[in-house]
Amino acid sequence: MDELPDLGEIEETLSAIDRKEIGATNARQLDVDHRVLLNVQSEVNGLLTRELPATYDKDDLRAILDRIVNAIEDNRSKRKA
C-alpha cells in the first residue's frame, strides 16, 4: 500500500496559506500556493476513493477538502486583486 499523506501536515500547509495577507503576497508566491493547493487537493481526493485505516475519517477528509476548495477560490481572488 502506498504511504498515506499526513493530515496534520496538510492542515499546517492550509493554515500557512490562509494566514498570508493579500498585499504581502506577490503573484509568484500566489502561483506557488496555487500549485501546492492543487496537489494537496489531488491527494485528499485520492484518499476519498480508497480503503482507509480507521484513523482516517472520511467526514474529516471532506472537511479538509472543503478548506482546500475555499483556499483555492481565495487564491484566485487574490490573484485578480
Which helix (H) or strand (E) segment is 34 a member of?
Answer: helix 27-48
pLDDT tens-place string over residues 18-34: 887 766 678 888 899 99
When divided into structural domains, the chain yields a total of 1
| Tens of pLDDT, residues 59-76 | 999 999 999 999 999 988
Structural domain boundaries enclosing 18: 7-80
Buried b (16+ CB within 10 A) or exposed e, 36-75: bbeebbebbeebeeeeeeeeeeeeebeebbebbeebbebb
What pLDDT is recorded for position 24?
A: 67
Residue 2: inside a domain, yes or no?
Answer: no
Domain assignment of residue 1, yes or no: no
Residue 71 lies in a domain: yes
